[in-house]
């Protein structure tokens, strides 16, 4: 199954509460932190919701590294 690599690029200090909650639900807490998620509609929707704060790219690594 495909995976996505999501990296937090911008601070959530001035973001709306919903955006802060979405970033936290993705598992991101610090600027520059990267997490790996399975590529599904729920994760893509969350990334789309905070697309101005994060960058998302396909991940071609090992399956055991994914969360």
- 3-class SS of residue 65: helix
Confidence at 61, pLDDT banded by 50, 70, 90: confident
Which structural domain range is residue 13 located in?
3-65
User: How far is Cα 30 from Cα 11, in angstroms, rounded to an integer?
Assistant: 8
Q: How many domains does the chain have?
A: 1
pTM: 0.87
Give the pLDDT of residue 64: 55
CATH of the domain at 60: 3.30.1390.20
Q: What is the mean pLDDT of the chain?
A: 93
pLDDT in tens, 29-59: 999 999 999 999 999 999 999 999 999 999 9
């Amino acid at each position: 199954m495909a995976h996505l690599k999501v990296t937090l690029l911008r601070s959530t200090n001035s973001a709306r509460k919903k955006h802060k909650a979405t970033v936290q639900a993705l598992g991101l807490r610090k600027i520059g932190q990267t997490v790996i998620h399975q590529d599904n509609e729920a994760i893509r929707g969350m990334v789309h919701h905070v697309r101005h704060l994060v960058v998302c790219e396909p991940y071609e690594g090992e399956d055991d590294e994914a969360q």
